[in-house]
């Protein structure tokens, strides 16, 4: 077997890693730590995956643990469930999360219900690239969280930094429940996310949000790419308005960290949810309802949201930029709330 | 029926006249020229999305579409194209200009920049707008051709799909539906031996995809996808059967993807010797040599056809480059027949969430 691929030894060498490399390291370390962990997906072996997350894995772990599948998302996700029943811990890659759709049946009807039906826990991970901004058009840009958020029994993770990505991947693989990990393509190689990670075997626990910027005037609850847009907006508001925004990165969408959300809202009295996903049926609705249930008395203003428009993701740059939430939208919404 | 599109004359081969053979050659060199130009535009930074070639597969798409009743009034045959079936797209009447507009995301293009590449619709010319999820179009074409049968229209639908797409559930369900319902549909399997980096043997244990047809009780045949006449004849047989009410069929086109999956793929995983061997079977070179050796065309004619194709493509590309991109707000249009998406409240002149 080949040695360790360079792309997973940067932390060992104390070099900064991108979010993508952090995911690679997380997968790699879990495979080394636990031989029950194995990978399936399209073009993940020889090619190392469409985005090269598993580059070099085939040489190191061999064909039995890095399986190039036919183009059969439903079939191989079903196979992951079966393997998990027999004690293995499969991690499957969707080449683009847009193509998780053929596996919707097995994920929602079979995998998510397994424990409840008495068929036992299903420790498996389904991961892949999501998100817009890459001129990928309607089928290479979607965010799929809400197609699964509604289904009890599934966990959903959506990292925004290299540190979190690695720790969440490792936690997801060790979790005994089925976990979907959404990886934003626009963050994969974003230079500003490069960081030197700790050398120890850390995890980031599922279900725990993270305050990435403290503030007293407004809580912005967000995740993924929008964490960074929200932080930039918060900086603008700080500079131009002297208005301090707290930015809470959910990191895990299911289960939602109600406690962290409520705690922050109680502090600021104002809530803005920002997500890249489309508006109707987006997670903002659920978050607002929970805050209404748990912290209504603390609110000083209506709860609002900034999201993508309710449309498929368009291809043209100008259309896609219009479709996606921008920093200015967050600033405008925050100013509206500040003045309320 | 297909021969009606061309000038009269005696049939030289496959029932085709000299001018038809020249038309085929023209279609081949035109798609190649268009894709070469596309590649150049990509290198010059004009294209935001993925760029795909059909190098080595041109005879498949051209030969197949040539077997159809091609019209522009919405009463002819219909295809669901793929990025590898660009030759068919053009033969059906899809314009190189629209091809460039699509890739360049121009406001003037058939989808106004909402969709990319060959993903556009023109029902009058017989083009169905495909989507990226593999296999999905098989079921859609089954329904289109079911409607031909129900309405007793003598029309046929061709659905192109790659060899990798044969592994999807949608492919199987759609094909079986078409078989059971005796839809006048022909499935064109683009057996280019790769699905991105995955070789065919990792997508199937079968030697030929025609064996899958047998599993559904379908008629199928395999053709040499680098030989435009072989593709034409095989497709014509399947199309004639379908039109005659004998139900759905399959044609497997055997050839090789001579470029990477898309521009971003340098196909390191391909054995150079194998690639070289297939490059020798370049479909345009093969057909050109045949035309010359049989005396069906002169070197001068072929040169003139190629030059004409290059001019046509060049004019189209330059026009597209000069055309405007869409306005951002157009992203709101046409989500429903009777309404679009709403303008984000943060972008109203007076931002107001009550307007959301
Ligand atoms: C359901 C689905 N899964 C994955 C993809 C991603 N993908 C796009 S093209 C491709 C390979 C297609 O191979 P093939 O069908 O042989 O067509 P070719 O590109 O060779 O023409 C893959 C895996 C997709 N489009 N749809
Ligand atoms: Mg193929």
Contact list, A333 vs chain B (CB under 8 Å) = 346, 351, 353
Residue with the two structure tokens 């399209």: A42
Q: Which residues contact B38 (CB under 8 A, 6 or more apart)?
A: B47, B51, B53, B99, B100, B103, B317
Higher-pLDDT residue of A3 and A178 is: A178
Out of A47, A76, A92, A95, mutate this one to test ligand 1's pocket (max ligand atoms within 8 Å of CB): namely A95
Sign of the alpha-carbon torsion through A179, A183, A188, A191: negative
Kindly give the parts of chain B with pLDDT less than 50: 1-6
Q: Report the distance separating Cα A130 and Cα B103, nearest Å.
A: 22
What atom in ligand 1 is closest to the CA of residue B192? 20
Q: Report the distance separating Cα A104 and Cα A111, nearest Å.
A: 10
Quick check: B161 contacting A, CB < 8 Å? no
Cβ contacts from A onto B, under 8 A: 148
Residue with the two structure tokens 């058009």: A137
Average pLDDT over residues A154-182: 99
Q: Report the distance separating Cα B282 and Cα B189, nearest Å.
A: 19
Cα–Cα distances in angstroms (integers) from residue A252 to residues A60, A160, B239, in the given order: 31, 10, 53
Residue with the two structure tokens 């150079």: B272
How many other CB atoms are there within 10 angstroms of residue A34's CB atom? 13
Q: Can you give the residue ranges of every domain in chain A?
A: 6-193, 210-338
How many other CB atoms are there within 10 angstroms of residue A203's CB atom? 17
CATH fold label, A210-338: Rossmann fold (3.40.50)
What's the pLDDT tens digit per position in A95-154?
Answer: 999 999 999 999 999 999 999 999 999 999 999 999 999 999 999 999 999 999 999 999
What's the pLDDT tens digit per position in B53-62?
Answer: 999 999 999 9
Q: Which of A215, A224, A268 is nearest to A246 (CA)?
A: A215
Structure-block tokens of residue A247: 């930015």
pLDDT band, very low/low/confident/very high, at A7 (cuts 50, 70, 90):
confident
Cα–Cα distances in angstroms (integers) from residue A199 to residues A25, A172, A210, B259, in the given order: 11, 19, 21, 41
CA distance A198 to chain B (A): 33
Q: Report the distance separating Cα B107 and Cα B264, nearest Å.
A: 25
- Give the pLDDT score at B163: 98
Cα–Cα distances in angstroms (integers) from residue A113 to residues A105, A109, B3, B103, in the given order: 11, 6, 58, 43
Chain centroid offset of residue B217 CA: 26
Q: Which of A125, A171, A176, A179 is nearest to A155 (CA)?
A: A179
- Select the residue from A93, A316, A324 to test the B interface by mutation, using most B Cβ atoms within 10 A: A316
Q: Report the distance separating Cα A74 and Cα B123, nearest Å.
A: 32
Average pLDDT over residues A323-332: 98
Pairwise CB contact (< 8 Å): B113 & A137: no
Q: Report the distance separating Cα A51 and Cα A60, nearest Å.
A: 18
Strand segments, DSSP code E, in chain A are 37-41, 66-68, 89-93, 125-130, 155-157, 179-184, 210-213, 218-222, 245-249, 252-254, 271-278, 304-308
Residue with the two structure tokens 């690639």: B275
Q: Report the distance separating Cα B58 and Cα B255, nearest Å.
A: 10
Give yes or no for residue B165 CB within 6 A of ligand 1: yes
**How does strand A37-41 pair with strand A66-68?**
parallel
For residue A280, how many C-alpha atoms fall within 13 Å in the half-sphere facing its CB?
A: 7
Q: Report the distance separating Cα B79 and Cα B68, nearest Å.
A: 9
Percent of chain A with pLDDT over 70: 100
Structure-block tokens of residue A170: 């490792």
Contacts 24+ apart (CB under 8 A), B4-7: B4/B69, B5/B70
Burial category of B1 from C-beta neighbours within 10 Å (exposed 0-12, middle 13-18, buried 19 and up)? middle
Q: Are B256 and B53 in contact (CB under 8 A)?
A: no
- Give the pLDDT score at B141: 98
Q: Report the distance separating Cα A157 and Cα A175, nearest Å.
A: 12
Q: Which of B4, B139, B149 is nearest to B71 (CA)?
A: B4
Structure-block tokens of residue A133: 């901004």
- Give the pLDDT score at A257: 98
Pairwise CB contact (< 8 Å): A332 & B332: no
What's the pLDDT tens digit per position in B165-180?
Answer: 999 999 999 999 999 9
- Give the pLDDT score at A1: 67
Domain A6-193 classified CATH 3.40.50.620?
no
Please state whether the predicted TM-score (pTM) of the whole model is above 0.90.
yes
CATH fold label, B18-325: Rossmann fold (3.40.50)
Return residues 82-111 of B near A (CB < 8 Å): 105-107, 111
- Give the pLDDT score at B83: 98
- Give the pLDDT score at A159: 99
Q: Can you give the residue ranges of every domain in chain B?
A: 18-325, 328-356
Q: Same topology for domains A6-193 and A210-338, yes or no?
A: yes
Q: Which of B110, B107, B106 is nearest to B121 (CA)?
A: B110
DSSP letter for each residue of B257-320: --S-SSTT---TTS-HHHHHHHHTT-HHHHHHHHHHHTTSS-HHHHHHHHHHHHHHHHHHHHHH
The yes-or-no verdict on residue A18 having pLDDT over 70 is yes
Nearest CB among B195, B198, B330 relative to A319 is that of B330
Contacts 24+ apart (CB under 8 A), B147-154: B148/B183, B148/B184, B149/B181, B149/B182, B149/B183, B149/B184, B149/B245, B153/B75, B154/B243
How many other CB atoms are there within 10 angstroms of residue B301's CB atom? 15
Would you tell me the crossing angle of helices B58-66 and B18-43 to the nearest 10 degrees? 140
Rounded to 5°, the CA angle A52-A56-A58 comes to: 105
Average pLDDT over residues A179-207: 98
């Amino acid at each position: 077997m080949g040695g360790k691929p360079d792309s997973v030894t940067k932390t060992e060498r104390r070099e900064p890693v991108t979010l993508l490399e952090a995911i690679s390291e997380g997968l790699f370390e879990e495979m080394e730590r636990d031989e029950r962990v194995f990978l399936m997906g399209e073009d993940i072996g020889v090619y190392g995956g469409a985005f090269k997350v598993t580059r070099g894995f085939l040489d190191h772990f061999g064909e039995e643990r890095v399986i190039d599948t036919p183009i059969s998302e439903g079939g191989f996700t079903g196979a992951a469930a079966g393997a998990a029943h027999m004690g293995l811990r499969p991690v499957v890659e969707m080449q683009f999360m847009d193509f998780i759709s053929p596996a919707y049946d097995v994920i929602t009807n079979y995998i998510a219900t397994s424990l409840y039906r008495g068929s036992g826990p299903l420790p498996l991970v389904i991961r892949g690239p999501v998100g817009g901004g890459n001129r990928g058009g309607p089928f290479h840009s979607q965010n799929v969280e809400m197609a699964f958020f509604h289904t009890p029994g599934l966990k959903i993770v959506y990292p925004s930094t290299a540190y979190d990505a690695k720790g969440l991947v490792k936690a997801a693989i060790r979790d005994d429940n089925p976990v979907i990990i959404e990886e934003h393509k626009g963050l994969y190689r974003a230079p500003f996310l490069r960081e030197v990670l700790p050398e120890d075997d850390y995890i980031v626990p599922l279900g725990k949000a993270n305050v990435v910027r403290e503030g007293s005037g407004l809580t912005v609850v967000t995740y993924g790419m929008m964490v960074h847009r929200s932080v930039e907006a918060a900086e603008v508001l700080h500079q131009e308005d002297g208005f301090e925004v707290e930015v809470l990165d959910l990191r895990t969408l299911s289960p939602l960290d109600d406690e962290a959300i409520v705690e922050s809202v109680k502090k600021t009295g104002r809530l803005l949810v920002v997500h890249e996903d489309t508006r109707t049926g987006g997670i903002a609705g659920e978050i607002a309802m929970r805050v209404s249930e748990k912290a209504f008395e603390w609110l000083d203003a209506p709860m609002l949201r900034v999201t993508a428009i309710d449309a498929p993701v368009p291809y043209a740059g100008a259309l896609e930029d219009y479709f996606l939430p921008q920093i200015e939208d967050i600033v405008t919404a925050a100013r509206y709330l500040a003045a309320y | 029926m297909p021969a009606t599109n061309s000038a009269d004359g005696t049939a030289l081969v496959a029932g085709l006249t000299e001018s038809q053979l020249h038309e085929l050659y023209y279609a081949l060199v035109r798609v190649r020229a268009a894709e070469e130009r596309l590649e150049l535009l990509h290198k010059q930074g004009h294209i935001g999305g993925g760029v795909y070639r059909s190098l080595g597969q041109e005879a498949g798409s051209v030969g197949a579409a040539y077997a159809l009743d091609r019209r522009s009034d919405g009463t002819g045959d219909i295809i669901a194209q793929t990025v590898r079936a660009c030759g068919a797209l053009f033969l059906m009447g899809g314009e190189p200009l629209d091809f460039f507009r699509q890739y360049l995301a121009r406001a003037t293009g058939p989808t106004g920049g909402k969709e990319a590449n060959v993903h556009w619709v023109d029902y009058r010319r017989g083009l169905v707008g495909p989507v990226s999820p593999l296999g999905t179009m098989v079921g859609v074409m089954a329904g289109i051709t079911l409607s031909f049968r129900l309405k007793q229209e003598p029309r046929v639908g061709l659905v192109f799909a790659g060899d990798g797409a044969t592994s999807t559930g949608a492919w199987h369900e759609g094909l079986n539906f078409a078989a059971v319902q005796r839809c006048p549909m022909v499935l064109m399997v683009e057996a280019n031996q790769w699905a991105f980096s995955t070789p065919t043997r990792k997508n199937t244990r079968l030697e030929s995809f025609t064996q899958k047809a047998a599993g559904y009780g379908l008629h199928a045949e395999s053709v040499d996808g680098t030989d435009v006449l072989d593709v034409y004849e095989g497709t014509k047989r399947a199309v004639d059967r379908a039109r005659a009410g004998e139900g759905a069929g399959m044609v497997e086109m055997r050839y090789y993807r001579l470029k990477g999956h898309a521009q971003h793929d340098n196909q390191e995983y391909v054995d150079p010797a194998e690639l070289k061997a297939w490059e020798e079977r370049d479909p345009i070179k093969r057909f050109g040599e045949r035309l010359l050796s049989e005396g069906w065309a002169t070197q001068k004619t072929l040169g003139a056809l190629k030059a004409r194709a290059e001019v046509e493509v060049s004019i189209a590309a330059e026009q597209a480059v000069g055309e405007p991109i869409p306005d951002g707000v157009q992203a709101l249009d046409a989500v429903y027949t009777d309404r679009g998406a709403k303008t984000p409240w943060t972008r109203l002149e007076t931002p107001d969430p009550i307007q959301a």
